């Protein structure tokens, strides 16, 4: 080996790659995907649309028509600008790249979405996590104190939070915005499943940046997220974004899918109904604590999460997410993405076999 690995940053050398377990032939309830694909007629129509994509030309660098469609479908405030990301993961990276200076802090409750910390640290910034209480609620006092102590350039608030599935108190978010010296990024990956949105806060303060994704509403495969903020803020992010970051196939597919918004809404409604049924089943089971959730997943606590996770996987071909070991408040916690009726029934059956 002649490549001197000291050229890689010590952060990169010490990291583990993001692990995605193999899932061939498994019932996949681990990644907050929608279980619903497209009916045959819609698939054919999508095929016709994609066939017309001009693949020999670069895409529109500002994704103009896709942005217009998103603004319209999600009724985004006219005074705000939108930029698209290759998933909201890329938007998180763009936001942080734009502010990355040595010594800069990034703040978020923990546990929350792991990419906030990972992206911040990769860029050489200082990530500060403020632990949630054991009941998954925010330690408001500690959080506001951390803002004072660390003066973060960016604060991430997932609304609702992944992995705890809960919404923060809206007045607390207002307090955070008032106290923040920099941006407050509200990550609404699960807005379709939640009772509330913080979209109204966009107008109240130019510190607020909203990010959302199409991944959790049936389009994880196309990788598309959007960011909404004041034009002056978006203008800074635009310099960081790679010019052709959203490819033509993704843009065409997104516009097509958003034309079928009523179908997407039906799928969300079905998932919410399935979630209610699954919640009811799980809460009636002895040996399982199930937590309320504003998302398309449910968290449960069992006596031995590792054993339940492994037996579901190895004996029943059901893949869920084992959160045990991620954070002390997630001890023996499992995260289950709501699937189709049949898949959820198989999960329930498997759980009764395993838990006796
Ligand atoms: C899933 C998720 C994302 C990332 O979504 P992509 O658009 O697929 O990159 C961002 N934030 C939270 C809280 C999520 O759960």
- Tens of pLDDT, residue by residue over 250-271, are 999 999 999 999 999 999 999 9
Residue 164 near ligand 1, beta carbon < 6 Å = no
* Predicted local distance difference test score (pLDDT) of residue 356: 85
Most ligand 1 atoms within 8 A of CB, residue of 96, 117, 118, 162 to mutate: 162
* % residues pLDDT > 90 (the chain): 94
Cα 162 to Cα 32: distance, rounded to the nearest angstrom:
10
Instruction: Identify the pLDDT of residue 16.
Output: 87
Does residue 9 carry a pLDDT above 80? yes
Indicate whether residue 189 lines ligand 1 (CB < 6 A): yes
Q: What value does the mean pLDDT of the chain take? A: 96
Structure tokens at 51: 């066939």
Q: What tens digit of pLDDT does each residue of 108-139 get?
A: 999 999 999 999 999 999 999 999 999 999 99
Query: How remote is the CA of residue 16 from the centroid of ligand 1, in Å?
Result: 19
> Closest Cα to atom 12, ligand 1: which residue?
189
Mutate to test the pocket of ligand 1, among 156, 194, 215 (most ligand atoms within 8 A of CB): 215
**What pLDDT, in 10s, does the model give residues 84-113?**
999 999 999 999 999 999 899 999 999 999
- Compute the distance from residue 218 Cα to the ligand 1 centre, in Å: 13
Task: Give the mean model confidence (pLDDT) for residues 324-348.
Answer: 97
Q: Binning pLDDT at 50, 70 and 90, where does residue 21 land? A: confident
What's the pLDDT score for residue 255?
98
Please give the distance, rounded to the nearest whole angstrom, from the Cα atom of residue 226 to the centre of ligand 1.
11
pLDDT tens digits, residue range 60-74?
989 999 999 999 999
> pLDDT tens across 146-187, in order?
999 999 999 999 999 999 999 999 999 999 999 999 999 999
Query: Confidence band (pLDDT; 50, 70, 90) for 353?
Result: very high
Cβ–ligand 1 contact at 256 (below 6 Å): no
């Amino acid at each position: 080996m002649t490549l001197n690995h000291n050229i890689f940053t010590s952060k990169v050398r010490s990291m583990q790659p993001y692990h995605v377990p193999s899932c061939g032939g498994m019932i996949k309830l681990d990644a907050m995907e929608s279980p619903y694909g497209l009916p045959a007629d819609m698939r054919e129509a999508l095929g016709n649309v994609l066939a017309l994509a001009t693949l020999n030309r670069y895409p529109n660098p500002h994704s103009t028509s896709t942005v217009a469609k998103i603004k319209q479908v999600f009724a985004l405030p006219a005074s705000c600008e939108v930029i698209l990301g290759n998933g909201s993961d890329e938007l998180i990276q763009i936001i942080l790249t734009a502010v990355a200076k040595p010594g800069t802090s990034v703040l978020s409750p923990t546990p929350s979405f792991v990419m906030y910390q990972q992206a911040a640290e990769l860029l050489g910034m200082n990530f500060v996590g403020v632990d949630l209480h054991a009941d998954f609620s925010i330690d408001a006092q500690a959080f506001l104190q951390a803002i004072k102590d660390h003066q973060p350039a960016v604060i991430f608030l997932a609304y609702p939070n992944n992995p705890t599935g809960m919404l923060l108190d809206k007045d607390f978010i207002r307090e955070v915005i008032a106290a923040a010296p920099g941006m407050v990024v509200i990550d609404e990956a699960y807005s379709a499943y939640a009772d509330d949105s913080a979209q109204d806060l966009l107008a109240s303060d130019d510190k607020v940046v909203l990010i959302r994704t199409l991944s959790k509403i049936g389009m994880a495969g196309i990788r598309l997220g959007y960011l909404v903020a004041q034009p002056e803020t978006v203008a800074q992010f635009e310099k960081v974004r790679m010019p052709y970051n959203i490819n033509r196939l993704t843009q065409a597919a997104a516009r097509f899918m958003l034309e079928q918004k009523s179908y997407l809404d039906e799928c969300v409604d079905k998932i919410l109904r399935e979630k209610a049924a699954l919640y009811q089943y799980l809460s009636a089971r002895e040996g399982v604590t199930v937590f309320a959730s504003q998302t398309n997943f449910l968290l449960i606590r069992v006596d031995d999460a590792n054993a339940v996770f492994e037996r579901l996987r190895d004996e029943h071909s059901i893949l869920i997410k084992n959160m045990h070991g991620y954070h002390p408040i997630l001890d023996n916690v499992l995260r289950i993405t709501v699937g189709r009726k049949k898949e959820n029934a198989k999960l329930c059956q498997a759980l009764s076999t395993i838990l006796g």
